[in-house]
Amino acid sequence: VRDVISKALVTHNENKGDIQYLYDVYKGRQAILQREKLIRPEICNRVIVNRSNEVVSFKSSYLMGEPVQYVSSASASDGITEKLVKLNEYMRMEGKEGKDMELANWFHICGVAYRLVLPDSRSNDPYGSPFNIYVLDPRDTFVIRSSGVDRRPLAGVHIVHRKEKPDILCVYTKKWYMELENDILSVDEPFLKKEPVTYSEVPIVEYDHNQVRMGAFEPVLSQLDEINVVESNRIDHIEQTVQ
């Protein structure tokens, strides 16, 4: 486990840089902010037309504008309908509608998103659901898959940051939950915690936006940069004409 996590972290850190760049573009930290002018440098407007944010908002709203509901094509006589009604009620209790929107925002921004589903320790509560749903930050999450043809998930990893101590790697497999400190992966026994689990699948679910994990606005990044240049030049022209 220690060797596999160490190798996977190298790839994850490369992906994290790309994800952070796309997230910055989405938030408005775009190339136009570093614009410089050689002629009349005192008139150098930097205008951001944040179409990337608009693209993500539109696509997420179009996809998740209505809450996702579970339905069945089977007949109502087999009792599945009643079970689905109960499942949909559990999802409502967990606020899945808002979490689905957050999930859609992530895979439209950076091409991939992650959801964690765990048993609820308060599952005996008659007014609550027996599980918890979380949306994880893809900058701190990755899934390790088999190299076989089925590409089945072998482990999901979520990184927890601490201010004055090394990060903790939370590793979820089908049989075990483990916690490792990020700076002692080379030590023989780097586990802070290792305990068996009751679920039978890797609880971190990976959602790809497409087969190449490309975000919604990523194919048109160069055009979006030029829109910012055109608008900035337009404001420069107005200011220079007025002066």
| pLDDT above 70: residue 11 | yes
Tell me what the pLDDT averaged over the chain comes to. 90
Closest to 101 in 3D by CA, of 58, 61, 52, 53:
61
Q: What confidence tier does 186 reach under pLDDT thresholds 50, 70, 90?
A: low
Specify whether the CB–CB gap between 114 and 120 falls below 8 A.
no
- What is the C-alpha separation between 239 and 33, in angstroms, rounded? 18
* pLDDT above 80 for 116: yes
Q: Rg of the chain over CA atoms, in angstroms?
A: 23
C-alpha distances in Å from residue 98, one per residue of 26, 29, 109, 199, 207: 19, 26, 17, 25, 16
Q: Give all strands (DSSP E) within 18-172, no chain letters.
A: 112-119, 131-136, 141-145, 153-160, 168-172
Q: How far apart are CA 160 and CA 2, in angstroms?
A: 17
Nearest-5° angle of CA 131, CA 137, CA 206?
A: 65
What is the model's pLDDT at position 230?
96
Average pLDDT value for residue range 170-197: 80
pLDDT band at residue 80 under the 50/70/90 scheme = confident
Q: Is the pLDDT of residue 109 over 70?
A: yes
Average pLDDT, stretch 17-26? 97
- Range of weakest confidence among 46-55, 104-113, 157-166, 181-190: 181-190
- According to the model, what pLDDT value does residue 199 have? 86
Distances (CA, A) of 191 to 9, 139, 159, 183: 16, 23, 14, 11
Residue 73 per-residue DSSP state: S
- Judged against a pLDDT cut of 90, whether residue 104 lies above it is answered with yes
pLDDT at 13: 94
**pLDDT band for position 75 (cuts 50, 70, 90):** low
Confirm if 129 and 120 have CB atoms less than 8 A apart.
yes
Torsion over CA: 94, 100, 101, 105 (sign): positive
